[in-house]
Structures are given as structure tokens and as C-alpha cells.
Amino acid sequence: MGVPFEALIPYGIIVGMFGLTGAGLTAVKWLGNDGKKARWNRDLWDRVMMERDLRITGSLRGQSGNAEAPKGFELSNPWKV
């Protein structure tokens, strides 16, 4: 006895919704990381460098090749009291 094709429609909807949410999550992560892959397994050093990049460039993933820090960086103290 065959399976009626009407039974396959809900499975197609379920698979489509999983695919749509997976693609949406990937897009949100990509946009949130300035078009780069998401970081994983970050340790303390990575978090400190991300804070430094945020203070220098205004973006967690941005990096600067300038030899000198921008104006006002000397007053941008990362130490928390």
C-alpha cells in the first residue's frame, strides 16, 4: 500500500522551515560578524583583543593596520573598577 502524497506535504513544510531557520541564523551570524565567520572557542586573550579592536575601530571584528593609535585612544582605558 502506497503513501498518499498528501502525507508528504507536512514533511516538506517541516524540512523547508528547518532550512529557512538555518539559513536565517547563518545570515544573522554573518552580518553580526562584519561578513566573517563566527568565532568559536574564545578564551580570555581573544575577548581582550576583541575589546581592543572595538575601542580602536568601533567593531568587534575590525582591525587596523595603523602604526599609531587614533586620537583619544590614550583615554580609552579598558580597566574596570
Residue 78, pLDDT > 80, answer no
Q: What is the pLDDT of residues 25-51, one digit of tens each?
A: 999 999 988 888 888 898 999 898 888
Between 39 and 16, the more confident residue is: 16
Distance CA 11, CA 77 (A): 55
What global pTM score does this model have? 0.61
What average pLDDT does the segment 16-31 reach?
A: 95
Distance CA 54, CA 45 (A): 14
